[in-house]
Structure 1
């Protein structure tokens, strides 16, 4: 009888261990497009062994000093609107792919969202009203589609740090209309200062940490580069006792990809497919086996898989590159 009990307990332990691994978020950041999508476009996500996608409707601000967020307009691409979010989500949910709704802001001329800061109380009031309309509208949409996750903002450091009372109130309003899990996508150099992690379900980090100054660092060299960053991430995780989610992570297939991984503006640079592979392998080695780590979303994945990426492309997408095969292998691991 004791033998049976021991076997039974062992089976439960194995099952729990498997379930823990299966709960990792193996996500892709699915880029909004002009088009509706169908199985032609979702199949590449399934082949990548992804169990989550981040769907990213957009709001637009004219410049850093402009307080109004324009969103859900006829001038936007279909995938950037509420209708696009609902249609995309429906197609992915047919295949049991879970959804993170991640509304994002684009500022004219590609200016950095982390520097949004108003120069008067009147402008702050307009921005706050406008942003609330934007995010609460998509919180309602997230509830409608039964999204597993809602990201309440992406890389908005100056806005967050200057207006903490607004954000605390906004989170309360979001929770009235959306009942799923919440996160915020803090930039890699911002996450330690976010004041509302205790109100989130996940500590969200856009994980573009500088790792190596070398032209083509090895996996081992990149893992050494992670050492200090990982310790700092763990200290924040312990402080709030919340799992860490990489709301974005990824590497360009270019020389020096580990030096300033956030730099999407440089078009020039020699294609370096192995550097991208090494970056993905190193980040997976360092984080995916940690109990406190929830997973992450690769930046980025386009709907027309046959038309993007490839061995002559030095941008972020792993599509049609060796990195796609590596990602598939990593996401398959239990």
Structure 2
């Protein structure tokens, strides 16, 4: 009996100290090339257990009604054929998958401003978007993807056509049996109406956390206090885990001020700012039981040729922040 009680005590202590497994993901950027083990091994070395694979559709302007996708003018990894090949290459190494179809507006205009000019045009765009999403939902089911994302940063579309989105979710559910999310922009998620119909509250987590040129870890931790209550309130209201469908900071001066900005005119390389802001994000969220994890933005397939200590963009590859992410992913693997 004493041995039995001791065993129970040890199991209880172990359960209290064990870390909860998280979605430790990378946003696996599409390329013109197929991928192989040499491209996947750096993902494994990061201790990542998930990858977001991202096909693209294109529209010519913010009020275009037709979404173009799966053409021979796109890069391989942006197409259905490429997605399937990427997924299979990653799954071979036990990397789980989120398929995350996205829209690119020509000239890089923000997808959150997509808005049609008439009821007829809205109907046409809805038909085109549904076709895009449902085709990839079929693919997600066929390849046994773990998560499917029904859209990314489309607030005006959602605001103007909420009933369409509820119907779309039902159509996706009829095709795809895995978990569903939507990638809301950091300042959009609080207004997204359909979280109750999904499995994760998805947020592209570019929350401003500091106006300082080189924010310290403490600066960024303090900055999260402005956002954490609202995130927790939304999670509690819907009883759904929070998933950062994208997260990350540029290795640039003022990286915590407006983290969504990708302008190449911002060129002041600041590796420490990237490390400090990223560490604060991990320390704020990864230990929370209501937080599912996230996908770092962004991870290129040609690991040895990208990033580096002179790079001022988002990728963590070959920078000090890569080691930091590795350590947290290992801790919560």
Give the TM bin, normalised by the shorter chain.
over 0.9
TM-score, structure 1 normalization: 0.97
Q: CA 1:13 to 1:121, structure 2 compared with 1: closer, same or farther past 3 Å?
A: farther
Q: How many residues align?
A: 332
Correspondences of 1:104-143 after superposition (within 5 Å): 104-143=102-141
Q: What is the RMSD of the two structures over their aligned residues, measured on CA atoms?
A: 1.2
User: Quick one: distance in 1 between partners of 2:13 and 2:145?
Assistant: 30
Residue in 2 that maps onto 1:7? 7
Note the alpha carbon deviations across 1:108-142, whole angstroms, 9 max, x for none. Answer: 10000000010101110110000000000000000
Match of 1:166 among 161, 164, 167: 164
Q: Does 1:188 align with 2:194?
A: no
Note the alpha carbon deviations across 1:216-251, whole angstroms, 9 max, x for none. Answer: 010111000001201110000000000000000000
Alpha-carbon offset, residue 65 of structure 1: 1.0
In structure 2, the gaps of 5 or more residues are none
Q: Does 1:145 align with 2:143?
A: yes
User: Quick one: distance in 1 between partners of 2:150 and 2:234?
Assistant: 19
Alpha-carbon offset, residue 14 of structure 1: 2.4
Residue in 2 that maps onto 1:213? 211
TM-score, structure 2 normalization: 0.97
User: Quick one: distance in 2 between partners of 1:48 and 1:82?
Assistant: 26
User: Quick one: distance in 2 between partners of 1:307 and 1:67?
Assistant: 38
User: Quick one: distance in 2 between partners of 1:12 and 1:43?
Assistant: 36
Correspondences of 1:18-97 after superposition (within 5 Å): 18=18, 21-22=20-21, 24-97=22-95
User: Quick one: distance in 2 between partners of 1:162 and 1:3?
Assistant: 64
Give the SS at the match of 2:225.
helix
User: Quick one: distance in 2 between partners of 1:154 and 1:17?
Assistant: 36
Residue in 2 that maps onto 1:244? 242
User: Quick one: distance in 2 between partners of 1:256 and 1:325?
Assistant: 21
In structure 1, the gaps of 5 or more residues are none
Alpha-carbon offset, residue 13 of structure 1: 6.0
User: Quick one: distance in 1 between partners of 2:193 and 2:65?
Assistant: 22
Runs ≥4 residues deviating over 4 A: none
User: Quick one: distance in 2 between partners of 1:96 and 1:87?
Assistant: 15
Correspondences of 1:222-233 after superposition (within 5 Å): 222-233=220-231
Residue in 2 that maps onto 1:257? 255
Residue in 2 that maps onto 1:200? 198
Q: CA 1:13 to 1:240, structure 2 compared with 1: closer, same or farther past 3 Å?
A: farther
User: Quick one: distance in 1 between partners of 2:275 and 2:236?
Assistant: 30
Residue in 2 that maps onto 1:102? 100
User: Quick one: distance in 2 between partners of 1:114 and 1:239?
Assistant: 24
User: Quick one: distance in 1 between partners of 2:12 and 2:97?
Assistant: 29
